Every structure is written in C-alpha cells, then in structure tokens.
Amino acid sequence: MFNAWSNLMLPEVELYLVHLPGREKRIKEVPYTHLLPLAEELTEALYPYLDKPFAFFGHSMGALISFEIVRKLRSRFSLYPVRLIVSAKHPPHVPDPHPNIHHLPDDELFTESERLYGSLPKIISEDPEVLKFFLPIMRADFTLIETYQYTSSAPLECPITVFGGNQDNSVNEHELSAWSEQTVVGFNLKMFPGDHFFIQGNRVALVQEIIKELLLLS
C-alpha cells in the first residue's frame, strides 16, 4: 500500500516502510497479538535510524503502534518525531464503542470486519483458500487492537495530525478529534471521502497533505 508513496514524496524525504511479521515478505512469521511487545521491538529496531528529523505515519492499527513507539522513544531516549501522523483509529485513551470481534468464529469475524472496515479485495474474499489463509492474520490484528490497554501519561510534546474517512464505520470525525488531548504542541484534523481504507482512493491528496504538514516544520 505504501510503496507508491516514494514517487509522491518530496525528494528530501526518505520513506521507511515497516514490515510486520505475518505480512508480505514476512508472511511465514507468526504475527503479534499484543501491541506493547511489538512496539518495544520496533522501538529498538528503529532507533538507530532516527539520527535525523523523522516523522511517523500509522494507519488504523498502525496509529496505535506509532503512538506507543513515540511514548517509548520519549521515556527511553528523550527523543520525539517532528510530527506524529495517524489515521482511521480511535485515540488510545478513548474506549472503542464497538464490541470485540477477535474471538468470533471465522464467518462472523469476516462479516463484522467488512461491516466496520469495508470489503476485502475480491482476490481474498472470493477465494476460499486465500480467505482461509488470510483470516488468522486478521484475527491476530483484531486481538492486538482489542487487548491493548492504554496507560495514562503526559501528552506528547510533538504535534499530531489526524486523517479520517467520512464514510468510515469504525470511527467518526468527532472521535478522531479527541487525539488532540494527546499533544500539548499542535493538532490538525482532515477528513477525506471514503471508508476505512480511504488512503487508497485518496493517495495523491493524502501524501500532499502530509507534505504540507512536514513543510510547516521546515
């Protein structure tokens, strides 16, 4: 999803893509089912590359992961990104109003996932073998999100930008605005047309907004 962003970014912005276990070239690895151990591992892995100004972007589950990485960088290294950019996810301190679904049988998990987050690509949803392979990864992600427990801490001393989709059934604009409580520096919120995966249909416009946010800091 993010590979094409390299061609849209400013030439002075280097894009680092995080490949989580259970995805793409790491598809044979066991996916994480708890957020904090994953954030711990990623913090250690990313730290050597953070010797220049950096920002984080996290979509959906990635928003929570990015948030916890930033908190770990603060507590361990007194280090902040120039901006935390998140999309399509409730702020960590706000309880998710939707019931947990990670424990549901496969067919119900699939149905609830599509209701909240939109339809899966047909190459997955219409091929029983591919869907059977994909469902455990989905279940692991939902388990990670739904078992995450937020611990209260001081707001971040870096600005936060939030993006959302106007037709996203999983989170609305009012809920996204509560991310403002997690920073004491600056906050921006912008909504796009589309559902939970609005970042696909609005790729160019979204990257342009990210560039604007980064230019505010230059």
Active-site residue flag, 180: no
Q: Which of 96, 79, 57, 90 is nearest to 182 (CA)?
A: 90
C-alpha distance from residue 43 to each of 16, 36, 145 (Å): 14, 10, 18
Task: Output the 3-class SS for 135-148.
Answer: HHHHHHHHHHHHHC
Instruction: Tell me which amino acid residue 46 is.
Output: L
Catalytic residue among 60, 66, 87, 113: 60
Report the helix count and the strand count for the chain, using DSSP H and E. Answer: 8, 4
Q: Residue 172 forms beta bridges with which residues?
A: none
User: Residue 190: phi, psi to the nearest 5?
Assistant: -135, 135
Positions marked active-site: 60
